[in-house]
Structure 1
């Protein structure tokens, strides 16, 4: 076992081992360690992603859980990358992202074409998945996962959040008028954590990719971004530094909370209408 700086992926895989132990062995961490002849702290550190288990450690661990060589080989393949500073995952695994959101003390995000998943309404998220052409069963699975992730926002000790959203997301219609109006209202209730980046800020900001920056109490900062092919997690210090600078730059160009609220109010009663055009229905 080697002590290392934990990563989002090492914490995810460590938690997978913990759940494996609890479900298949029924033993506490201390009892499990005793059966293996390990110190209890060794089991704890591996399960918390704070230490890399050797191949022999993994064999002993999974065998005591009643798992065979096929499971071991599959897990070992993934565990090989557990402590890499940069990790790429396919979209059918959101556990690493969900754990990062749940553990974070601060989350800063930037979205260009859609609203942040953590503050999407259920109808908006459903329409978004449906319009991507996903089959009904996948839409339902992804929708439930997204709504479950939002539990982080309802906790008393929820992370400090700041969501930067480009004005393009306000203009792109997802679902029908009711879906958009409900989403605008949801954003109005969250303007204390929302900053809109106006179109007038220029094309440079509109062409930057969506991303998230996580801060943790006892782990290194993490940058997350995604595209249609994969999800990318990075703890590389250079990447983290670059993204901190990006968000500082973004803050200088975004509207403040009151200005963001005012712009949102212009959209609420007419999601199809360009809010910059004169209104004829207002006194």
Structure 2
């Protein structure tokens, strides 16, 4: 993926008929710096790519590519295909009985969750950053329509402590103000229901294909087989059926947020 970014930078430069020296002058870097980036000896930094985007008016293309590459290089191999699906989806239907959905987590909440796992030394910060970077999909051009159904117990589980939870629930309230985000809460009074069997996400792509993502302790499963999609779609309809409408859900989140003091 890094080679792809370097190749695109080189294509941009040559398409403008610029030498490495001239390209460097335009973005206020030396020609030798440009050369070292294009040969892979020096990684392109955020500042470097921001300068390229600004000077050549690419609309932030190279900065977005860096985020995408960094995310894919850090996350588990089995998760990479789903991240691509998230970026291409027009609709995401997410259900979570245990934690706040990743696309709606704060950095502190994500850090608290990930620190309880078995990440190798030095991997916590990159993993947290990758999770937060994935959330850019909700603010991209033509973002997916996200329907998130969350069990009420998630709002009351002390992940990271009271301050972290208050920030997280306030973040949910702010996210719900986005026109493409709809949050529904399954009240604790519901008792047993099909969603307690596990978390899942259904993605609808522009060509109307549906893919499902199922999470568990070892790794996530991505499938578009009809025999897999059908029961997940049925489960979605059932959890939506027991969840509160959006406005009542927001009121419940606001009430629970007040308890985290």
Note the aligned Cα RMSD (angstroms): 2.4
> Paired residue for 1:267?
256
Between the two proteins, the alignment pairs up a number of residues equal to 193
> Paired residue for 1:241?
230
Aligned equivalent of 2:213, options 202, 219, 224:
224
1:180 has 2:169 as partner: no
Q: Secondary structure at the match of 1:124?
A: helix
Q: Equivalences for 1:1-283 in 2 at 5 Å?
A: 92-93=76-77, 94-132=79-117, 134-191=119-176, 193-205=182-194, 207-218=196-207, 220-271=209-260
Change in CA separation of 1:23 and 1:265 when aligned onto 2, cut-off 3 Å = closer
Offset of 1:218 from its aligned partner?
2.4
Normalised TM-score (structure 2):
0.67
Structure richer in helix, relative to its length: 2
Aligned equivalents of 2:88, 2:130: Cα separation in 1: 17
Aligned equivalents of 1:219, 1:196: Cα separation in 2: 27
Aligned equivalents of 1:104, 1:206: Cα separation in 2: 23
Change in CA separation of 1:26 and 1:117 when aligned onto 2, cut-off 3 Å = closer
Segment drifting more, 151-160 vs 133-142: 133-142
> Paired residue for 1:58?
none
CA contact (8 A) 1:21 1:27 kept: no
Aligned equivalents of 2:8, 2:250: Cα separation in 1: 53
Offset of 1:204 from its aligned partner?
2.6
CA contact (8 A) 1:199 1:206 kept: no
Cα offsets for 1:131-189 (capped at 9, x unmatched): 33535522112101101100101113100110000011111111121110000101112
Aligned equivalents of 1:145, 1:254: Cα separation in 2: 30
Unaligned runs of 5+ in 1: 1-15, 29-90, 273-283
Aligned equivalents of 2:192, 2:209: Cα separation in 1: 32
Offset of 1:109 from its aligned partner?
0.5
Unaligned runs of 5+ in 2: 12-74
Offset of 1:205 from its aligned partner?
3.8
CA contact (8 A) 2:93 2:203 kept: yes
Offset of 1:219 from its aligned partner?
6.0
Aligned equivalents of 1:261, 1:136: Cα separation in 2: 38
